[in-house]
Structure 1
């Protein structure tokens, strides 16, 4: 709705305008009424209405004087419609000279007023579209110029003009980096634009550097400097957090003493994001707080990696778990360089995959099953990498053991292969023994010696391994899971699950959700 101010020294005339004209139908609403020109001038200065409908003949300041005064003061956007009971040419001529496009003769006829308002609505809508187009064009130009500036790229002539204009806004500037889940990006960017670029938060700033799971904010600082930066960062963090319904990472660079030094603040913010690898914060992280800290570098890590690969190759599950837990605790305590930790994990994966391939396994298929340890900005965390490596190494250990068993051949290997294919069915030792013409007691003892578990227990392991994979890949109910794995009793499935993983099914599902968040 466009806002309207009615001006007339006759109360009955004001009442008539309010009652006889259907303002809402034409996209207008009456915001205020005034009884003389001086009062109207004060209201126009304060609220800048979209339309003023004013009588010409009024005491103190008439309608034409009111319009002339507003134009003289620089108000070019407010539209004026003048009314008069005197329909002579002189009034109309003066009104046209002042840029008044519509002149109504008293008494006002509703049909004539509707026509005027409909025309004015079209004019205002067109002006609004043009302003929005200009606004979005300027916003794009500013974003492009700032993106080039923070990356220390050569500025085009248009970019240089935009930067020179921005430099006049403030002396000091800062860059803020936001990293979050890809699915939350659109809502977070929209919130930041509302708060900074559209001014809904009472602050000004610019959204730049938008990526798949991150974006940047460039903020001009006033005289308050650091205090203003902290207040803005925490305000924006809180608003985005409430919008997306969860925490995310925000790194705040140091203050650049001029716009052309903004790339320094950008690099500092990017340096600060490395610390999110060790800790997911629920508030902004300021470069000033961590600039004296350094990451550790340790050359002996490759020896630790070889020990883990050896434990995987020799099928020592306990050794794999203990060594991984120990080294990742060490990473967290020493704040080992994130890129070094990533290289450490990659080395183990390459070595284990190579051994798997040498034994005849499909290494590419193994990697496809386990996925990638670092997916998107939000995936770069020590905790998630540790969980991934634990899962990968234990799976690889099991697969290597199975490959060796198959290579040795014999009936036991065939029995194991049969179980892997039919573990979802109700399989007994007696049935398997009859299938391979063996004594059930001998088969049970031999299988236990070779695979470290009875046929019954081995079947449960296969079922539980699939249960774990399914729980990580999809949201599936316990009852559906039990039925899919071949358990006749849901309670029996729950008992077996808790026995092997040390927690109830509901607790395990919650741990998966927590790990992904």
Structure 2
């Protein structure tokens, strides 16, 4: 750490010598200015705010001791002093001790002797600075503790407040709070950046509110606009975290810090509107949304039922259509974010249960990356939740489809054997689906993929194949054969036979 030093002496040679022969930088100091008398010194101290003043005591216009006495009376910043005097001026040194000045350099100033004394002074200044910093930190911690308690006040609270809190409140004409919400994983980094920026500001306090939310409480003068200090802090944070999940909102201001709970309540309300904002940049104020109101009545049954039906039927397009349409309804109704999140989380858990019931451990392993419990504390907006829900649905349908594919490899063989045994009957795709507990559409797709033809074509092929065999035996009439293979209508049999064999049953029998 480096301290500022002001040099005062009416002899130009003495001033030059102190600057040239003492290695101030090595000793932890930097010379911020020089003066030739006490009157100039008072003015320079007020302007330059040095930590140490090294001054001659015997100077025209105003002596060094007179200057020190005047400075101490003014009540300005506490500055350390070291006086320079000769052997013949012992009375000055004795008087200086009455002012609490213990550092004394003899003229002419010897560099080594001065260095030793300045090292002592540096050590004292460093100790004082550390104590000052600890004292300031303790004061801020106490203020932060008291401010956090204010956030818990109920409207119209009339409890007793500590004097130091009342004094702090009176120091500014208006107070407000800015809430910043981010992801739990980003919180520590963002908080550190905010704390570093706030440390340079006056009447501004960082309040930890939750694992992913912090508050910046600030006082300001309304005639200077909406708190230039906090605006600069937020602008720097926004530039650093552009495009990341960090939403900020400012409440309605209050004239007294003691009414901070009202600021907090309105900032929370404003922050909710960021849920429908696809961008995370910028700060939303309560003044911009106070006339808008959320809807809190919503029945999630339709969303859950329709989405689960699409999932069960492996209908990816239907699932996407259901979820997207419901999201548009959320925007249209301006449904409260907590209600939207509750509905979406409910659907996600339903999907998870269905997957675990259908796939067991395989589903648990596949869905392990989806931390549903962490979503409640996330800063996700509607667009991101929608994308998450769509992605989850697509993955679930893919997993279920893969499982169906594996199972179908065995069941298709069983279905085909059943068709071979019952094709003579009035067999339909619906009856077959009911028998094997499958959806008719899915069953039709399954048979097409395995056999290369649709269900009806497959049944006709089997019937005509059997009819051809019976025709060659020449034991039954053609109409009897048609009926035996499953055709009630002979014309339909004739049509299907000619289509496949390229000739009539009679011609087939004659040729063979």
Measured against the shorter chain, the TM-score band is: 0.7 to 0.9
Asked if 1:19 corresponds to 2:20, the answer is yes
Find the aligned partners of 2:343 and 2:374 in 1 and give their Cα distance.
13
Give the aligned partner of residue 236 of structure 2: 239
Aligned pairs for 1:2-81 within 5 A = 2-75=3-76, 77-81=78-82
Deviation at 1:3, TM superposition (A): 0.9
Deviation at 1:448, TM superposition (A): 9.9
Deviation at 1:299, TM superposition (A): 3.8
**Do 2:83 and 2:105's aligned partners in 1 also have CA atoms closer than 8 Å?**
yes
Local SS of the residue matching 1:144: helix
Aligned pairs for 1:291-302 within 5 A = 291-302=290-301
**Do 2:303 and 2:323's aligned partners in 1 also have CA atoms closer than 8 Å?**
no
Deviation at 1:17, TM superposition (A): 1.1
The change in CA–CA distance for 1:451 and 1:38 in structure 2 (over 3 A counts) is farther
Deviation at 1:246, TM superposition (A): 4.7
Structure ID, larger Rg: 2
The change in CA–CA distance for 1:368 and 1:340 in structure 2 (over 3 A counts) is same
Give the aligned partner of residue 324 of structure 2: 325
**Do 2:182 and 2:379's aligned partners in 1 also have CA atoms closer than 8 Å?**
no
For structure 1, the residue ranges without an aligned partner over 5 or more in a row are 415-445, 456-517
The change in CA–CA distance for 1:166 and 1:413 in structure 2 (over 3 A counts) is farther
Give the aligned partner of residue 132 of structure 2: 131
Deviations 1:97-135 (A, max 9, x none): 112111222111112101110100000010011011111
Deviation at 1:300, TM superposition (A): 4.8
Give the aligned partner of residue 316 of structure 1: 315
**Do 1:8 and 1:58's aligned partners in 2 also have CA atoms closer than 8 Å?**
yes
The change in CA–CA distance for 1:342 and 1:115 in structure 2 (over 3 A counts) is same
Give the aligned partner of residue 175 of structure 2: 173
**Do 1:234 and 1:283's aligned partners in 2 also have CA atoms closer than 8 Å?**
no
Deviation at 1:144, TM superposition (A): 1.0
Give the aligned partner of residue 305 of structure 2: 306
**Do 2:249 and 2:271's aligned partners in 1 also have CA atoms closer than 8 Å?**
yes
Aligned pairs for 1:427-506 within 5 A = 449-450=445-446
Local SS of the residue matching 2:166: helix
The change in CA–CA distance for 1:174 and 1:38 in structure 2 (over 3 A counts) is same
Give the aligned partner of residue 420 of structure 1: none
The change in CA–CA distance for 1:289 and 1:205 in structure 2 (over 3 A counts) is same
For structure 2, the residue ranges without an aligned partner over 5 or more in a row are 415-441, 452-512
Paired residues, number: 418
RMSD: 3.1
TM-score by length of 2: 0.74
Aligned pairs for 1:270-285 within 5 A = 270-279=268-277, 280-285=279-284
Find the aligned partners of 1:356 and 1:14 in 2 and give their Cα distance.
85
Find the aligned partners of 1:359 and 1:386 in 2 and give their Cα distance.
24
Deviation at 1:36, TM superposition (A): 1.2
Find the aligned partners of 1:454 and 1:383 in 2 and give their Cα distance.
40
Asked if 1:391 corresponds to 2:388, the answer is no
Give the aligned partner of residue 256 of structure 2: 258
Aligned pairs for 1:336-415 within 5 A = 336-359=335-358, 361-362=360-361, 364-365=364-365, 367-372=367-372, 375=375, 379-403=379-403, 410=410
**Do 1:175 and 1:266's aligned partners in 2 also have CA atoms closer than 8 Å?**
yes
TM-score by length of 1: 0.73
Deviation at 1:167, TM superposition (A): 1.9
**Do 1:197 and 1:204's aligned partners in 2 also have CA atoms closer than 8 Å?**
no
